[in-house]
A and B are shown apart, each in its own frame.
Chain A
Amino acid sequence: MTDVDQYIDEMLANVKTTIAAKELSELLMIGIHTGGVWIAERLHKELELQHPLGKLNIAFYRDDFSRIGTHPQVTPSKLPFDVEDKHILLVDDVLHTGRTIRAALNEIFDYGRPASVRLAVLIDRGEHELPIQADFVGKILALKPGEHVKLCAAENPEGDSPKIDKQGDLTLEITGTE
């Protein structure tokens, strides 16, 4: 069992407790492209949610577009359900500045007005720049200045949808100071 599997189990246990305690029937899950989708696919399968998984690509909602410009390929967002008045669990791989989550919330609200949005992340590496906290965290990781953490999929690291139903396919990569 890799670290990632362990962290996912940690998230799962907490999400399950909350679902039971708050009676969140009809929970909708949305993963943020790409790493968040990988984690969400695993959680989604384990929780046996009735609605299909939503996938969000926040490229059109970034606050740094005027500085870094476009990415050549943007897989369109796909929310195969109505978010109106629903409870949503938003999933991402790494919570850092919080800007991605800000963008994701803006996009979700362009689809409707959810009853609630909770946030689950595999890694919370701190250094938040916005008042955004995760409700479910797999692991709190303290990184040195200049270090980055990235989620990698074993079989197809560049591609879109690696086979992530097996355990141990996802690994964390920490890159050091430049």
Chain B
Amino acid sequence: MTGNNIQLDAQGRLKHFLTIEGIDRSLLFEILDYAESFAAVSERAVKKVPLLRGITIANLFFEPSTRTRTTFELAAKRLSADVLNLNILSSATKKGETLSDTLQTLEAMHCDMFIVRHANSGAAHFIASKVAPHIRVINGGDGRHSHPTQAMLDMFTIRKHKPDFTKLKVAIIGDVLHSRVARSEIHALSILGVPEIRVIGPRTLIPADISCLGAHAYYDMNEGLKDVDVVMMLRLQRERMCSALLPSEHEYFKRYGLDEKKLALAKADAIVMHPGPINRGIEIESSIADSERSVILQQVSHGIAVRMAIMAMTMGNKTTGSQVEETA
């Protein structure tokens, strides 16, 4: 599934944001540059610009989420949009309403944008293909497939510390098998020109065909972390594991948890990232999560700016090129 035709308009501009696949390098950089200007808005006394005034954005979270949902909500509010948080999990779906009916109901309420998180891969894509033409859809994570806004905020964070993507060695560590974040990150890193992308984890949690995406698999942390510039940890997704993939959490931390000794193998100025929520003592040693090398909290702040940029870009690209005219 590339989603290529559906998330871009006829001029190649962003219409929906469903997956990193099929977006070229210049458009990814455009998102990062645009996010840079929104980061300044969050540092002001009045953290709001009137760009999306009068626009209604519905947060459709079919899966629990705190960080992603609240940063999307803050991003929307800082653009002056109105936000609707729908607790779909506990209402409509439980009462037996189909997804299509829920969507039509929201369209009848004149919503302009849907932020979708769903346990099934392809859900956001499905919704984008069903909605009325004026409605925008942003993927807030679908199954194991894709979490494109998380990948973009990670790229934004990496660029802040390591400005040249073409000189980087990046390692993604942990439960790659269940991770939509890892998949989107690998796509983004390779489109942005990162020459060496490594994934590290136990064989049971690394997809066998990961090399198709351009990443090299390592099963030993001591090998995989050598000389990397960026260490991206993943969360163990116990809720998605339906068979015995791990011996024990203790055993996992011993082999794949990030501690001082293993981190010493990476470059001295390597940064440590984690999409959150972090499991201290399982994926990452507490002292590292709180250390100066950890950029985990910066990732959260950057998430707001990046999501503001993506919302503004998809909403702003509603007209054809012929109508573009500057007014002095």
Contact = CB atoms under 8 A, between A and B. Distances in A.
Interface of A: 57, 59-61, 64-70, 72-78, 94-97, 99-100, 106-107, 110-112, 125, 148
Contact of B50 (A61, A78, A95, A112): A61
Contacts of B313: 70
B324 A65 contact: no
Interface of B: 13, 30, 33-34, 36-37, 39-41, 44-46, 48-51, 312-313, 315-319, 323-325, 327-328
B325 A60 contact: no
A125 to B, nearest CB: 8
Given A96-B327, A100-B327, A112-B45, A72 B34 contact: yes
Given A68-B324, A99-B327, A100-B327, A75 B317 contact: no
A73 B48 contact: no
B312 A70 contact: yes
B318 A60 contact: no
A68 B325 contact: yes
| Majority-rule SS of A interface residues | mixed
A148 B328 CA distance: 9
B327 A76 contact: no
A134 to B, nearest CB: 13
Given A61-B49, A94-B328, A100-B327, A72 B319 contact: no
A103 to B, nearest CB: 9
Nearest to B308: A60
Given A111-B45, A111-B46, A67 B37 contact: no
Contacts of A75: 37
Given A67-B323, A68-B319, A97 B40 contact: no
B318 A77 contact: no
B327 A106 contact: no
Q: Which of A67, A70, A99 has the most CB of B within 10 A?
A: A70
B316 A57 contact: no
Given A67-B319, A67-B323, A72 B33 contact: yes
B46 A110 contact: yes
Contacts of B36: 76
Contacts of A77: 40
Q: Which of A66, A69, A74, A110 has the most CB of B within 10 A?
A: A69
Given A69-B317, A73-B34, A99-B327, 15 more contacts: A57-B37, A61-B50, A68-B323, A70-B317, A72-B30, A76-B36, A76-B40, A95-B328, A96-B328, A97-B327, A106-B50, A110-B44, A110-B49, A111-B46, A125-B328
B37 A69 contact: no
A61 B319 CA distance: 18
A39 B319 CA distance: 33
B50 A60 contact: yes
A16 to B, nearest CB: 27
A75 B41 CA distance: 12
Contacts of B325: 68
Contacts of B319: 67-69
B44 A111 contact: yes
Shortest beta-carbon contacts, A-B, top 10: A69-B316, A76-B40, A60-B49, A96-B328, A74-B37, A70-B316, A110-B46, A76-B37, A72-B30, A94-B328
Contacts of A111: 44-46
Nearest to B326: A68
B41 to A, nearest CB: 7
Nearest to B43: A76
Contacts of B34: 70, 72-74
Nearest to A75: B37
A73 B312 CA distance: 13
A77 B37 CA distance: 8
A72 B29 CA distance: 9
Contacts of A112: 45
A89 to B, nearest CB: 19
Nearest to A95: B328
A20 B318 CA distance: 50
A77 B323 CA distance: 26
A102 to B, nearest CB: 11
Q: Which of A57, A68, A97 has the most CB of B within 10 A?
A: A68
Contacts of B39: 76
12 contacts: A59-B37, A60-B41, A61-B49, A64-B327, A65-B316, A69-B319, A70-B316, A75-B37, A100-B327, A106-B50, A110-B49, A125-B328
Contacts of A59: 37
Q: Which of A59, A96, A99, A112 has the most CB of B within 10 A?
A: A59
